[in-house]
Amino acid sequence: MKVLRSLEVWKMGSINYLNALKLQEKLVSDRKTHKIPDTLLSLQHPPTYTLGKRRTDHNLLIPEPDLQKIGAELHYTQRGGDITFHGPHQAILYPIISLRDVGLGARNYVEKLELTMIELASLYGVRARAGQTGETGVWVGERKIGAIGVRISYGITSHGLAFNIDPDLNYFKHIVPCGIANKEVTSLRKETDSVLPAEEVIHEQLISCFARVLGYSNLIWKENGSILSDSVEN
């Protein structure tokens, strides 16, 4: 008999990066102690650059004092991966799940995140692929369309993936995206011949792809105006 696996999905809209970080930390703690089920945060950030735990500051090509002039923030994180950009018109998923419960190792989990974005791109006739040796994320030819950076603590995941729907690609000119020089960044808008639906539809399609790839058959949807403030304050 097939086990019915549930995933709680929090649709959060646009949220400040630090607030999302605090929320993830609390949810990871709650997931470790079985207070909550596997949970998926679906959101966007205001313009934000983030660095992983390797602290590759040299891949930030703009002086930190100038970030304010372009309306962006910089944050240091404990995730894997190199520098990346988050901003409007990007679909971000932060899974807070138990890898032990889903029967995955770290490498397999990253492959599932890649496949999630590859499946979404295919819905719009875009042939994406996983990164080759030395590349991270998901690519269309030699152009990067999706980034991955994860943290795993005692088998519980945080951080996750960012898929470019139609962000301002000029922000990527100020970094070496994911530490890979001489590569372009692209978006679904640039790569598809299809007319894109409302972004909320694409976010929900990305969630559905994630659930299918990871084997969740029961999605519990939550609209999250109040959940964030409650969770961060508690």
Return the H-helix or E-strand segment holding 72. none
Residue from 43, 147, 148, 178 carrying the catalytic annotation: 178
Complete DSSP assignment for 2-31: ----EEEEEEEEE--HHHHHHHHHHHHHHH
Q: Can you tell me the distance from the alpha carbon of 83 to that of 74, in angstroms, rounded to the nearest whole number?
A: 10
The closest alpha carbon to 40, from 226, 228, 234, 220, belongs to 220
**Known catalytic residue: 178?**
yes
Return the H-helix or E-strand segment holding 223. strand 218-223
Tokens for 101? 């419960």
Return the H-helix or E-strand segment holding 227. helix 225-233
Tokens for 11? 């649709």
Return the H-helix or E-strand segment holding 101. helix 99-102
Check if the beta carbon of residue 49 is closer than 8 Å to that of residue 75: yes
Catalytic residues, by residue number, are 178
